[in-house]
């Protein structure tokens, strides 16, 4: 039953391209070569575009979003993550479909693109974002976090003073590229009442692209400053834990669902950057919170960090000696 609801939530994304196609077919005999695509207020249009390229572009974007939604339904993700992503896709896709409907209908009503009046159709443009509620309400959500006994990996003593590791995620890279391209296309083709709406939508997509691309490849650094995680592509800082805040360092076989799913995950008392299932560094702070990051050669990184923590602790106590675990 839950799987059926997941697929139904994803298929909501078929509605926008269907609306675009149906409207295009229905109005085709009366559509001129150009349609209105921009208004500075609710009056007469002050921007026009070629009808066929506009329709094809919007169909392509909303169709790509449908494919992305079906992929999200097929892959293994936490329920909340999938519901959120499907809702965001539905909001953007719905606005693009509304943009086409408004452009086509107002042009046909006026008889020409130059005479098209936005008027009350502004409400459809703004209200289309509410499509995000449909997949959110349909998609099942299990807010319980499964308790998983992750295997703890052994740490070998080391006197290393620094270490650096990386992790990559092809799905995050592809999603980031799709979001970045979509932001450009939305800004270029979305007909709005003034430029602020297209800027807002494109800005949200671009911000999502930046965060996603930052997670597509991460760099984890261990040194005297502590544990630092940042994006390797965009160099965005993602997480820093100073050495003096660290109480325990371990290496675990990370199970994504035990930390809330893939990506930058947050649960009460827990944070994690999870790009895959497998070895990762797990840090418990002196305040009792935990942080995990999946990274290549996690055992060596955890050993180095544990040694640095032990030596820093000895220094605080005025005691010499090596790492203690």
pLDDT at 325: 40
| Cβ-proximal residues to 257 (8 Å cutoff; 6+ apart), any chain | 78, 146, 148
- Which percentage of the chain shows pLDDT scores above 70? 87
Mean pLDDT on 138-146? 64
Within 187-309, strands assigned E span: 217-223, 226-231, 237-242, 246-254, 263-267, 270-274, 278-285, 290-294
pLDDT in tens, 74-119: 877 777 778 888 998 998 899 889 989 999 999 999 888 888 888 8
Task: Write down the pLDDT at residue 323.
Answer: 42
Question: For 261-297, what is each residue's pLDDT tens digit?
Answer: 788 887 667 889 999 889 999 999 999 899 999 999 9
CA 295 – CA 176 distance, rounded (Å): 20
Q: Does an H or E element contain 51, and which?
A: helix 51-74
Q: What is the pTM of this model?
A: 0.58
- Position 319 scores a pLDDT of 55
Single out the residue of 13, 11, 10, 55 nearest to residue 31, CA to CA. Answer: 55
Q: Minimal CA–CA distance to 51: which of 82, 72, 20, 74?
A: 20
Q: What is the DSSP string of 135-192?
A: HHHHS----PPP---PPEEP------S-EEEEEE-HHHHHHHHHHHHHHHHHHHH---
What is the model's pLDDT at position 176? 85
Residue appearing with tokens 């990762």:
280
pLDDT of residue 146: 45
Whether residue 150 has pLDDT greater than 80: no
Q: Do 218 and 230 meet the contact criterion of CB atoms below 8 Å apart?
A: yes
Number of Cβ atoms within 10 Å of the Cβ of 42: 13
Given this model, what pLDDT does residue 196 score? 57
The mean predicted confidence, pLDDT, of the chain is 84
- State which H helix or E strand residue 134 sits in: helix 133-138
Q: Alpha-carbon distance 226 to 245, whole Å?
A: 9
């Amino acid at each position: 039953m839950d799987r059926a609801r997941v697929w139904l939530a994803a298929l909501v994304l078929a509605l926008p391209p269907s609306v675009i196609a149906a409207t295009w077919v229905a109005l085709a005999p009366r559509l001129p070569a150009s349609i209105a695509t921009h208004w500075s207020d609710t009056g007469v249009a002050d921007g026009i575009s070629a009808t066929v390229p506009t329709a094809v572009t919007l169909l392509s974007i909303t169709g790509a979003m449908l494919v992305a939604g079906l992929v999200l339904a097929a892959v293994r993700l936490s329920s909340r993550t999938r519901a959120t992503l499907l809702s965001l896709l539905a909001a953007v896709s719905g606005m693009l479909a509304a943009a086409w409907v408004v452009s086509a209908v107002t042009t046909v009503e006026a008889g020409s693109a130059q005479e098209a009046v936005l008027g009350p159709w502004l409400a459809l443009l703004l209200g289309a974002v509410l499509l995000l509620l449909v997949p959110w309400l349909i998609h099942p959500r299990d807010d319980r976090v499964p308790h998983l006994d992750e295997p703890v990996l052994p740490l070998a003593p080391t006197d290393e003073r620094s270490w650096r590791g990386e992790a990559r995620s092809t799905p995050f890279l592809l999603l980031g590229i799709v979001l970045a391209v979509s932001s450009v296309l939305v800004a270029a083709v979305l007909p709005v009442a003034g430029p602020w709406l297209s800027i807002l939508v494109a800005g949200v997509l671009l911000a999502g692209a930046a965060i996603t691309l930052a997670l597509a490849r991460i760099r984890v650094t261990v040194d005297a400053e502590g544990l630092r995680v940042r994006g390797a592509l965009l160099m965005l800082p993602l997480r820093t834990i100073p050495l003096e805040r660290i109480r325990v360092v371990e290496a675990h076989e990370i199970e994504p669902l035990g930390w809330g799913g893939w990506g930058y995950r947050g649960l009460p008392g827990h944070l994690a950057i999870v790009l895959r299932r497998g070895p990762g560094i797990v840090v418990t702070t002196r305040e009792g919170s935990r942080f995990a990051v999946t990274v290549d050669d996690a055992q060596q990184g955890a050993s180095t960090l544990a040694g640095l923590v032990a030596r820093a602790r000895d220094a605080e106590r005025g005691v010499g000696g090596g790492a203690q675990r």
